[in-house]
Amino acid sequence: MSAITLTTWSLEMTSPDDLVPAAVPGPEITVARAEVPSPEFSRFLYASVGGDIHWTDRLGLTRAQWVEQLGRPGVETWVAYDRGTPAGYVEFDPQDDGVVEIVYFGLLPEFRGRRIGGHLLSVGTARAWDLASRWPDREPTRRVWLHTCSLDGPTAMDNYLRRGFKLFKTETEPREETPTPGPWPGA
């Protein structure tokens, strides 16, 4: 394996007024919350979206660990569908003091480049801002943040900036390049 330099960018939004929504790509695209936590569905989304862009941190989790993560109060998954077929998702995890992190966001490869990502990020970010309306024990959201890296898709950073996120930190580190696992072993 060869060494690469990995750059990670952290971005934030500090007011819901900063959100610049993308246009809705068409009536065939819908976004809905997965209200019943399902480790199998979430693992499918994670592996299918992240398989070709080196998402590996959750692949070794047990089903019980998935259940624990998804069952935490305020953790939500919003899914984009193209005529009933999952096209991508956004998952966020509330932190202390009204902070919500978008921990995963992306599209399955065959749905990229169709303007679905901007719409999904717009809806997901808006839902992060109104999280307390669905989880009354949570403080109102005062900050939404995320990170992206140089392994993510080539349009990821531009989408975040267009939606109104602002860069607040950049980090670089050497890392061993790992093979892309794909959505399932052997893919």
pLDDT in tens, 140-164: 999 999 999 888 878 899 999 999 9
- Kindly state the DSSP code that residue 158 receives in the 8-state scheme: H
Encode pLDDT of 121-141 as tens digits: 999 999 999 999 999 999 999
Residue type for 35, please? E
Give the pair of three-digit tokens for residue 147: 């990170």
Token representation of residue 44: 């499918």
pTM higher than 0.85 for the full model?
yes
Q: Between β-strands 99-107 and 143-149, what pairing exists: parallel, antiparallel or unpaired?
A: parallel
- Give the integer Cα–Cα distance in Å for 11 and 158: 12
CATH code, residues 3-176: 3.40.630.30
Both tokens assigned to 179: 């093979």
Q: State the Cα–Cα distance between residues 4 and 169, nearest whole angstrom.
A: 20
